Amino acid sequence: MRRATLALLFVACALLSSFLTYMVVSGYWYRLGIKVPGLPSIAITKVIFPTENTSYFKVKVLNPSYSLRSVELRDIYVITPEGEVHRVENTTPPLPKKLDAGKAIMLTCFWDWANYTGRELKILAIIEGGSGATYLAKPPAVKLILGVSFNASRPFWFILNITNSPDSPAAVNLTGVDLVLDNGTRLEDITTKPKVSPEKPYGLEPNSTLTLNCTWNWLRYRDRSFTVVVKTIQGYRGYKSFRTPGPVIIKIREVVFYTVGTTYYFNITVFNEPKSPAPARISHIEVVVNNTRFGPEDLNITPPLKPPVVVQPNSSITFTCLWNWSRYQGYDMTINVETVLGYTPNATIKITQGTHRLALSLNGPSRLCISPSSKALLLCAPPAQRRTSTLCALAPFPRSNRPEWLPRRPRI
């Protein structure tokens, strides 16, 4: 009898202690707001972005042991920082996939994340008839820094500097450079020196720079935007938009017809604007009078145009043409100036002795100013512009004590 009583007391104590333990744990869960889910629930426990390939990432999905039953994993989605939702179309193993309670599966998701390096992505796992899972993850912060420099006198190439950021967690292998123009045209794998290609990639470690000489004729693409795209074997890409330099702006500013005894000649003054991005290399001058064209050999030009004459920005040069203009006095003359790169200023004037100056007006287009004397130059710029106008070089400065410059004459 005593043994039976002790056994009953032992069982009663065990039951009482179990009940008290259950009450304590349940109360703790209740205070924390933890509840056993009423529907099947899963969790994403790990997301892996491989640094050697941006075309895929891995997701580990777990169906917890407390889940009510097995689940069917239907889809994986990615939400970008811009709020765009992308469904992963291809996974290994393929979806849908049955997942028993207490089991986990590692999925390889083929979705290119190269454009989101270092940015937070939201990964979603969706199941049939239950609660899915969400996971926040950042791909490796590999960053390619691009810089471009142009030589406006050589519009057939440009220099591209590519730097793998010091904070990049991995090296990259460069395979090519593309250009995307502002009209959407894409120039793929432009020629570079040194050459980079999928067959001959260039390894770029973090905090290192590669300088490429990129061949591209942008002469007819001046002052327009374009985007440089740098490609790598791993899938990382560098993007940056740039703008090509504007055109060289040269103008014919003055034409003066002279007579010295029986010698007739005229001077042409050409000005390269201050905002020009490069010197102008003048290689050809011709005039057209009465439908007759006269080239450099006919005009006897000084200085000669071989080699081309260089005019720096914000400077001018005067060409003397030893040509008898008296036979065409009163006719219209069209003057065409050409540079090596194809810039072609021109002007049309009437052949009369004296100074013909093409000057810019503050309130309108260019106008022609004529002085009957070749010694008394007429300044057409408004008075407020005299001290800063390039025309000041053609007349003595008001406060200068230097004598007035004499007109340029040819060597006879």
One-letter amino acid for residue 386 of the chain: R
Bridge partners for 115 per DSSP: none
pLDDT value at 403 more than 50:
no
d(CA 254, CA 274): 17
Give helix then strand counts, H and E, for the chain: 2, 29
Q: What is the pLDDT of residues 341-370, one digit of tens each?
A: 989 999 999 999 999 988 553 333 344 444
- Residues of the chain with pLDDT > 90, as a percent, come to 68
pLDDT band at 27 (very low <50, low <70, confident <90, very high): low
Residue pair 296/290 in contact by the 8 Å Cβ criterion: no
d(CA 174, CA 197): 7
> Both tokens of residue 137?
């993850």
Q: What is the pLDDT of residue 24?
A: 61
pLDDT band at 35 (very low <50, low <70, confident <90, very high): low
One-letter amino acid for residue 348 of the chain: T
pLDDT band at 37 (very low <50, low <70, confident <90, very high): low
Of 392, 288, 380, 272, whose CA–CA distance to 333 is shortest?
Answer: 288
pLDDT value at 89 more than 90:
yes
Residue 212 CA: distances (Å) to CA of 147, 175, 237, 365: 10, 12, 16, 43
pLDDT band at 34 (very low <50, low <70, confident <90, very high): low
Angle at Cα 256 formed by Cα 251 and Cα 262, nearest 5°? 145
Q: Where are the domains of the chain?
A: 43-137, 144-243, 250-394
Residue pair 174/164 in contact by the 8 Å Cβ criterion: no
Q: What is the pLDDT of residue 23?
A: 64
- Tell me whether domains 144-243 and 250-394 share a fold: yes
pLDDT value at 327 more than 50:
yes
Looking at every residue in the chain, the average pLDDT score rounds to 83
Architecture label for domain 144-243: Sandwich (2.60)
HSE on the CB side for 290, CA within 13 Å? 7
Cβ-in-10-Å burial (0-12, 13-18, 19+) of 123 comes to buried
Of 146, 132, 117, 100, whose CA–CA distance to 57 is shortest?
Answer: 117
Of 200, 199, 311, 323, whose CA–CA distance to 263 is shortest?
Answer: 323
Q: What is the pLDDT of residue 373?
A: 37
pLDDT value at 406 more than 80:
no
Of 52, 75, 71, 74, whose CA–CA distance to 123 is shortest?
Answer: 75
More reliable by pLDDT, 400 or 313: 313
Q: For the domain bounded by 250-394, which CATH number is listed?
A: 2.60.40.10
Q: What is the pLDDT of residues 172-195, one digit of tens each?
A: 999 999 999 999 999 999 999 999
Mean pLDDT of 119-127: 94
pLDDT value at 5 more than 90:
no
pLDDT value at 122 more than 50:
yes
More reliable by pLDDT, 153 or 38: 153
Instruction: Using the Cα atoms of residue 354, residue 355, residue 356 and residue 362 in order, give the sign of their dihedral.
Output: negative
Q: What is the pLDDT of residues 54-72, one digit of tens each?
A: 999 999 999 988 777 888 9
pLDDT value at 216 more than 90:
yes
d(CA 237, CA 333): 56
Mean pLDDT of 209-229: 95
Mean pLDDT of 23-32: 57
pLDDT value at 383 more than 50:
no
Q: What is the pLDDT of residue 402?
A: 36
pLDDT value at 22 more than 70:
no
Mean pLDDT of 368-382: 37
pLDDT band at 36 (very low <50, low <70, confident <90, very high): low
- Spatial CB neighbours of 102, under 8 Å, sequence gap ≥ 6: 63, 64, 65, 67
Residue 217 CA: distances (Å) to CA of 155, 220, 323: 6, 8, 38
Tell me, which fold does domain 43-137 have in CATH?
Immunoglobulin-like (2.60.40)
Indicate the range of 314-318, 323-327, 405-409 predicted with least confidence: 405-409
The SS3 assignment for 112 reads coil
> What letters, b where the CB count within 10 A reaches 16 and e where it falls short, cover 167-197?
ebeebbbbbbbbbbeeeeeeeeebebeeebe
> Both tokens of residue 231?
């490609």
Q: What is the pLDDT of residue 285?
A: 96
